[in-house]
Amino acid sequence: MKKFLNTADSFLADSLAGLGAAHPALRVDIENRVVTRSEGVADGRVALVSGGGSGHEPLHAGFVGDGMLAAACPGEIFTSPVPDQMLAAAAAVDTGAGVVFVVKNYTGDVMNFDMAADLAGDDGIRVETVLVDDDVAVQDSTFTAGRRGTGATLLVEKIAGAAAERGDGLGVVADIGRRVNAASRSFAVALTASTTPGADRPGFDLPEDEIEVGVGIHGEPGRSREKMRPADEIVADMMAAILADHRDLGSGSDAIVLVNGMGATPLSELYLVYGRVAAILADHGVTIARNLVGDYVTSLDMAGCSITVCKAEESFVHLWDAPVRTPSLRWGI
């Protein structure tokens, strides 16, 4: 599989160097793998820190900036960052108001962020953790006890980030993040597998006429391997899984919806998927208050998409609309 890279070993550093060159508003510490805002966090504000394996860009470093993350710590491809990175990030951005760790529910990430929280506590940094586990496809998975964290991570980072920006306290910001996660459900389908830089073949085999239904963002197996079929049928199945699990998303609910590309799916196809999602939610009496369509939580060069539906309290929509200025999500400023 051809990729723009020099060596597999230098890939992440080379990519982070480019990120830093492109965005003066970010400070990219390539050696320690920590990305922060160049101008820091305003006095007295809670700081959101996230991180995880690389390969899901723009998540997380692309969401560092005013109104969203204070810092991100990227691990190697599909590999958790280490506690030292997380600790360095927390120490770099804590204003004294405390730090919220946004952690996708994968065993390695959870363990390392737990350790980092302990170390930060020893250094007098108050830490709250928001665990994201929105993927309804499977209960346990290759790298997960419990549900996987996927598309809702973006929603948690945006909405809790806006709460931090307006000056909410540590407990409040963390609580908002947890409520966003609790209100969110996701489901993904892969048309092709992704290939890790340096590997000579994709992470799994997927025949030309089959799809992986319920796939994870590292290519973890989903619920079933099925025959390819028309998009409307695929989307109907994805939405059925989400709605079956999302018991309190009833008629009259508002929702924030993310139709997310996994990396190699054209935007035209994502809009086609969104159209069907919108029709199905309308049939259920659900109003889509806000939406986002594009590549936000990817799996390298996987073709496929995920759908995330968050039952939106009015306060979520208000915080969603707050100004944000990051490399990959920006409005209002």
Which residues lie near its own copies (CB under 8 A)?
1-7, 11-12, 14-22, 54-55, 57-58, 62, 191-192, 208-209, 211, 228, 230-232, 234-235, 263-276, 278-279, 291, 293-295, 298, 300-301, 303, 305, 325, 327-328, 330-333
Whole-angstrom CA distances from 73 to 28, 30, 62, 63 are 10, 10, 11, 12
Pick between residue 12 and residue 131 the one whose CB is nearest to its own copies.
12
User: Residue for token digits 């730090």?
Assistant: 99
Pick between residue 181 and residue 194 the one whose CB is nearest to its own copies.
194
Pick between residue 172 and residue 278 the one whose CB is nearest to its own copies.
278
Kindly report the backbone phi and psi dihedral angles of residue 15, in degrees, each rounded to the nearest multiple of 5, phi listed first.
-70, -45
Q: How far is the CB of 75 from its own copies (least distance, A)?
A: 13
Q: Are 72 and 48 within 8 A, CB to CB?
A: no
Q: Are 320 and 158 within 8 A, CB to CB?
A: yes
Q: How far is the CB of 68 from its own copies (least distance, A)?
A: 15
Enclosing H/E stretch for 49: strand 47-54
Neighbouring C-beta atoms of residue 292, cutoff 10 Å: 18
List the 224-227 sheet strands across, edge first: 224-227, 210-213, 184-190, 304-311, 254-261, 287-294
Q: How far is the CB of 291 from its own copies (least distance, A)?
A: 5
Q: How far is the CB of 222 from its own copies (least distance, A)?
A: 15
Q: How far is the CB of 267 from its own copies (least distance, A)?
A: 4
Q: Identify the active-site residue in 23, 56, 60, 246.
A: 56
Q: Identify the active-site residue in 218, 246, 284, 318.
A: 218
| 56 included as an active-site residue | yes
Q: Are 60 and 54 within 8 A, CB to CB?
A: no
Pick between residue 55 and residue 98 the one whose CB is nearest to its own copies.
55
Tokens of 262: 């996994």
Q: What's CA 49's distance to the chain center, in Å?
A: 13
N-term to C-term CA, the chain = 39
Pick between residue 12 and residue 127 the one whose CB is nearest to its own copies.
12
Pairing of strands 99-104, 47-54: parallel
Residues catalogued as catalytic: 56, 218
